[in-house]
Structure 1
Amino acid sequence: MKQNIMNLAFFRNKTNVLAAAALLSVTTISAQTFSDFNYRGNDKTYNDNPLQPGEFYSPILQGCYPDPSITRKGEDYYLVNSSFSMFPGVPIFTSKDLVNWKQVGHVLDRPSQLKVEKSGVSHGIYAPDIKYNKHNDTFYMITTQFAGGIGNMVVKTKDPAKGWSEVQKLNFEGIDPAIFFDDDGKAYIVHNDAPPQGTEQYNGHRVIKMWDYDLEKDQVVAGSDKIIVNGGVDLSQKPIWIEGPHIYKKNGKYYLMCAEGGTGGNHSEVIFMSDSPKGPYVPAGNNPILTQRYFPKDRKEKVDWAGHADLVETPDGQYYGVFLAIRPNEKNRVNKGRETFILPVDWSGKYPVFQNGLVPMKPKLKLPAGVQNQNGQNGFFPNGNFTYNDKLTDKNLDYRWIAMRGPRESFITVTKNGVKVNPFTTNIKALAPVSALFHRLQHESFETSVTLDFKPKSEKELAGITCYQSETFNYVFGITKKDKDFYIVLERTEKGQSKLIASEKIALSKPVKLQVVADKDEHSFNYSLDGKNYKNLGGPVSGDILSTDVAGGFTGSLIGLYSTSSNDIIPN
């Protein structure tokens, strides 16, 4: 691990050198600086359900934080999420009470670990699993990387906040691997896979497979694989996409918990039990133990798609489960993406059941005994209708600022006046690293603004805000040049086809404030030349292309501070 930390320090120094070289190479590009970023949520759900003493909000992580996995060492809990082609990858959070969460970094924070340079936004890292092995005092993060020819992989560390090892590629196919450490020190891997060739019975037929795991070699034991679930709870019902497996041990019995039904309206969580880690696994008679699929589609404060869960036991023997779900807007669109929710779990009987996981979910939960809600204070992540302000002058930018397909350090320079986003010769539509600093969208109704100091020297230069669902679905709202004049432009890209919504000639004598205001599904793009009075460009536009039900894929939308030297937006 010491060597890994040294390698990490070397990478950071090397990144600084590369960033400096990039700066030297773009001296002909106009100076541009972003400062005074502000983001404020205004969702009706939170306005209608203010927190009372003894309450907290779920989701605990709003916005695109899907596929949560959780583990505990002593009094410290750690939680990770899928990150796809976002860079760095696999955000990691810690908590001592399951309510107040603080981000301590990312698991995959080096290009040597994350090979997503040419990946679509919904490729890259899927369904990470984090587990602590008490037998060797080591944390493991195992996942599937759909990029760089890596596939299933594992990294490990003694301290999740101080860097993780290089990638160890694992020798098996399939997705969604998870690791289990038995009381006798043995380790096993379970994962989703295709059924044996020639035995597939229907579209979506999958199996759960198990392997012995060699802790010395960090590799599965060849020939040890065994199918422990075929299809799902009841193969005769043709269940689809049994996946996201985790194994737990309680009172000498082994429990296999999986998602079933696919990430969508039929999503659920199911449970099986066995006397042996290798089965046979018998499904519970009361499956599913978590789902939101049975309720009216027009229900108030709708939570849907619940599943892909992981359990953790508290020091006093209580259980909680984290899982993904969505909160669609009034037009049933999923702009925020899949978020991380939590519920207490009742394991007083034979099988665990998510408390209130089989009724329409509510936005508030009761705090665990003795826990104080520090919502957004003391470095903890905020929930509800929070406001986030960032002057963008701290050399250690907040972890919530991420890039796409490559490290943010390769294109940013933090100054006392704000952050410079040094433009790449790729634009937002490229399957390549883009020079944009992204923040997750965390509300359906929100207001966000940033101050931009920028005077483009040519029509190839543009800087501004992007509302980004993917490389083929996005809005760009920024400043560029045509002939000798400066323009502010708004472009909509849908299915890779771009359309200029509006453009307007402006005078650039000082920094411009750019603002996006969303009221449920309508988005308004506004600008101010005097820092006080805003003018709309292009009228309200639909947020449809920022939703996964229109754009496809698995991510929520992002708000980006964007710059390019390959602008292709031509003002009218």
Structure 2
Amino acid sequence: MRRTSASPRGSFLVPPPPRRARGTETTAPAGGTRPSREGASMGRYRNPILPGCHPDPSICRFGDRYVLVTSSFEYLPGLPVHVSDDLVNWTLAGHVLHRPGQIDLSGLTSSSGTYAPTVREVNGRLVVVCTVVGPEEGDWAGRTGHFLVTADAPEGPWSDPVWIDGVGGFDPSITVDGDRVWLCGTREAVEGYWPGRTEVWVAELDLASGALLSAPVVIWTGAAVGAVWAEGPHLLPHPDGGWMLLVAEGGTDLEHAVCVAYADRIEGPYVGDAGNPRLSHRDLGPVAPIVAVGHADLVDDIEGRSWATVLALHPVDGRRGILGRRTSLVPVGWADGRPLFAPGIGRVEEVVTAESVPDQRPWPTRVEERFTTERLDLEWNGAGRLPEEIATWGTDGLLLPGGAEPSRTARVSFLGRRLPDENSEASLRLRITPADDGFRAGVLLRVSDAQQLELSVTGAGEAIAVLAGAEIGRLPLGRDAVGDELELTVRIRNLTASLFVGEEEVAFCELDVLAPQPPRGFIGAWVGPVAVGSGEARITRFALSVG
């Protein structure tokens, strides 16, 4: 039986009473094709809609554009902001956390940091709310909790954070109701009853100060007795009046799901949809091509059609890959006032044909960076620090001083960008200037502090390959090679990797250790140059290709 309060809408064991249908709704045939309205154009796109690891997507319309923000955890610049004119072709416009002094993530362990942002348009401005989550253990002294930032455009600049005190938890979201703004979020339930039980709360918020104007009211604890990790909540005005709660449940893995509830008042009581979960791949098993679907947000396009962004995992040959959770786009219909995710299909599909979107343009298959311009490409991130706090770049390329071991949580000298595909090749040209034999620099494939693949050259004139802290290959180069420009390549094919210096293979390995089941973190793979110890490396070219 569902746990919920009584509601004037009737029993929570049946759907809400019929409402005016939103638009025209028919049943779609199988095969990923949505039926078209008469005269509507049709386009085809592929999921995911963003390359690489982009979890916890939130979306809104801003003028005639769409704005999408995703989690970035310990990476800076943080909270990437993508924009689109058509929902299927996206451009990275910038980041919410993009300059020194905005936020301190230095020293954070992997999968801590910025969790599950929400983006909304409020009175002509963009507002993002998010949470900084610190490590459960250790002595990290940075500030945790909810904050909000604002900007006049997706490209920024974004304001300094306004911190929201008085309520804990994670996954905050904001909702506008006339001249009032409401904040909702998730926290562990006061009365646990069972492990993983959480509760969704709502409170009125003053945007200018971040002060709560009312005490938090609990509005949801899950769609069923025993339900776990009700999180990622979004409160949305229902098209026929009242409010709709969109919430993720089951945890962000194979049991992930999208659930819905309804209320006449924003503070509830809320009645769960009798068809919950409204979207899930939990019954498809771990070897399905798309799993762990959840964490939905909704947006209406300029023609009034509804769409959802969700996160999902994409297994490789039935095994968990290293790309992490990614963002997909799902058409949404309405029947009797209830949302239908992928109507007629009920699943997130890799290839979708839908009305009123163009054909998706292919992603670039190769990017090359020579680091000779004043501005670094927006795709580059540092772990816990901004790129300009780690390295310098200009006419002679990227100068990367040595830092801490990459398995550490502070002052790691690594610049990375998201691995775009399971079949990718990363290569760089570098010249090292070591202060001692222990210095090394090269290519790092980073999933977490512990889950890494590294190919480096050392001050002693050797190439070494290390997987998850264990050496897997060594190639003598000779001391004469120290100071020469060398080319290092990491070639990934699904869950295997081949590592080369020039044309010589240093190691071949399986990457299952970087993608354990159950997962040990929330992020996927970044790849880029790394330098460790006393010395520096100059990188004159970095290339990342797909295929």
TM-score range, shorter chain: 0.7 to 0.9
Superposition pairs of residues 453-532 of structure 1, within 5 angstroms: 453-482=431-460, 486-494=461-469, 498-499=470-471, 501-506=473-478, 507-508=480-481, 510-528=484-502
Checking the alignment, whether the CA contact within 8 Å between 1:129 and 1:179 is kept in structure 2 is yes
Aligned match for 1:334, one of 307, 310, 321 = 321
Matched, 1:142 2:129: yes
Checking the alignment, whether the CA contact within 8 Å between 1:331 and 1:521 is kept in structure 2 is no
Tell me the residue number matched to 1:544: 512
Checking the alignment, whether the CA contact within 8 Å between 1:152 and 1:173 is kept in structure 2 is yes
Give the superposition deviation at 1:304: 0.4
Give the superposition deviation at 1:510: 3.8
Checking the alignment, whether the CA contact within 8 Å between 1:335 and 1:548 is kept in structure 2 is no
Matched, 1:160 2:190: no
CA separation in 1, counterparts of 2:220 and 2:187? Answer: 10
Matched, 1:191 2:185: yes
Aligned match for 2:217, one of 209, 226, 231 = 226
Of all paired residues, the percent bearing the same amino acid is: 28
Superposition pairs of residues 547-566 of structure 1, within 5 angstroms: 547=515, 549=517, 552-565=520-533
Superposition pairs of residues 232-271 of structure 1, within 5 angstroms: 232-235=222-225, 238-249=226-237, 250-271=239-260
CA separation in 2, counterparts of 1:408 and 1:105? Answer: 14
- Deviation per residue, 1:521-545 (Å, 9 max, x gap): 11110111xxxxx11012x211123
Q: Which amino acid aligns with 2:473?
A: I
Query: Which structure's residues are more often helix, by fraction?
Result: 1
CA separation in 2, counterparts of 1:271 and 1:370? Answer: 26
CA separation in 2, counterparts of 1:114 and 1:353? Answer: 39
Give the superposition deviation at 1:430: 1.5
Q: 2:499 is paired with a residue of what secondary structure?
A: strand
Q: 1:220 is paired with a residue of what secondary structure?
A: coil
Give the superposition deviation at 1:123: 0.3
Q: Which amino acid aligns with 2:297?
A: D
CA separation in 2, counterparts of 1:500 and 1:285? Answer: 53
Q: Which moved more, 1:146-155 or 1:356-365?
A: 356-365
Tell me the residue number matched to 1:204: 196
Q: Which amino acid aligns with 1:165?
A: S
CA separation in 1, counterparts of 2:446 and 2:394? Answer: 26
Q: 1:514 is paired with a residue of what secondary structure?
A: strand
- Deviation per residue, 1:103-158 (Å, 9 max, x gap): 1111011342222111101100000011111xx32211111101412311111122
CA separation in 2, counterparts of 1:357 and 1:555? Answer: 32
Q: Which moved more, 1:344-353 or 1:101-110?
A: 344-353
Q: 1:347 is paired with a residue of what secondary structure?
A: strand
In structure 2, the gaps of 5 or more residues are 1-41, 135-141, 536-547
Superposition pairs of residues 419-434 of structure 1, within 5 angstroms: 419-424=398-403, 426-434=404-412
Give the superposition deviation at 1:58: 1.0
Q: Which amino acid aligns with 1:220?
A: L
C-alpha change, 1:248 and 1:361, in structure 2 (3 Å) is closer
Q: Which amino acid aligns with 1:239?
A: A
Checking the alignment, whether the CA contact within 8 Å between 2:163 and 2:210 is kept in structure 1 is no
Give the superposition deviation at 1:356: 5.5
Q: Which moved more, 1:317-326 or 1:464-473?
A: 464-473
Tell me the residue number matched to 2:383: 404
CA separation in 2, counterparts of 1:130 and 1:542? Answer: 39
Checking the alignment, whether the CA contact within 8 Å between 1:469 and 1:545 is kept in structure 2 is no
Aligned match for 1:92, one of 81, 101, 110 = 81
- Deviation per residue, 1:344-382 (Å, 9 max, x gap): 111243111211696554321225426353334xxxxx5
Checking the alignment, whether the CA contact within 8 Å between 1:367 and 1:373 is kept in structure 2 is no
C-alpha change, 1:548 and 1:131, in structure 2 (3 Å) is farther
C-alpha change, 1:397 and 1:233, in structure 2 (3 Å) is same
Checking the alignment, whether the CA contact within 8 Å between 2:200 and 2:218 is kept in structure 1 is yes
Tell me the residue number matched to 2:8: none
CA separation in 1, counterparts of 2:127 and 2:220? Answer: 24
C-alpha change, 1:209 and 1:549, in structure 2 (3 Å) is same
Matched, 1:448 2:426: yes
Q: 1:154 is paired with a residue of what secondary structure?
A: strand
Number of aligned positions between the proteins: 483
CA separation in 1, counterparts of 2:473 and 2:213? Answer: 57
Superposition pairs of residues 42-441 of structure 1, within 5 angstroms: 54-133=43-122, 136-147=123-134, 148-171=142-165, 172-182=167-177, 184-196=178-190, 199-222=191-214, 224-230=215-221, 232-235=222-225, 238-249=226-237, 250-299=239-288, 302-330=289-317, 332-355=319-342, 359=346, 361-366=348-353, 368-369=355-356, 371-376=358-363, 382=364, 386-424=365-403, 426-441=404-419
Q: Which amino acid aligns with 2:218?
A: I
Q: Which amino acid aligns with 1:347?
A: W
TM-score, structure 1 as length reference: 0.81
Q: Which amino acid aligns with 1:270?
A: C
Checking the alignment, whether the CA contact within 8 Å between 1:67 and 1:340 is kept in structure 2 is yes
Give the superposition deviation at 1:216: 4.2
Checking the alignment, whether the CA contact within 8 Å between 1:469 and 1:555 is kept in structure 2 is yes
Q: Which amino acid aligns with 1:562?
A: V
CA separation in 1, counterparts of 2:436 and 2:518? Answer: 34
Tell me the residue number matched to 2:34: none
Q: Which moved more, 1:209-218 or 1:429-438?
A: 209-218
Q: 1:239 is paired with a residue of what secondary structure?
A: coil
Checking the alignment, whether the CA contact within 8 Å between 1:290 and 1:358 is kept in structure 2 is no
C-alpha change, 1:438 and 1:387, in structure 2 (3 Å) is same
Checking the alignment, whether the CA contact within 8 Å between 2:464 and 2:475 is kept in structure 1 is yes
Q: Which amino acid aligns with 2:128?
A: M
Q: Which amino acid aligns with 2:107?
A: K
Q: 1:219 is paired with a residue of what secondary structure?
A: coil
Give the superposition deviation at 1:454: 2.6
Q: Which moved more, 1:119-128 or 1:546-555?
A: 546-555
Q: 1:84 is paired with a residue of what secondary structure?
A: coil
CA separation in 1, counterparts of 2:344 and 2:393? Answer: 45
Checking the alignment, whether the CA contact within 8 Å between 2:382 and 2:390 is kept in structure 1 is no
Q: 2:284 is paired with a residue of what secondary structure?
A: coil
- Deviation per residue, 1:453-481 (Å, 9 max, x gap): 23434213211001111222212211112
C-alpha change, 1:357 and 1:173, in structure 2 (3 Å) is farther
C-alpha change, 1:204 and 1:188, in structure 2 (3 Å) is same
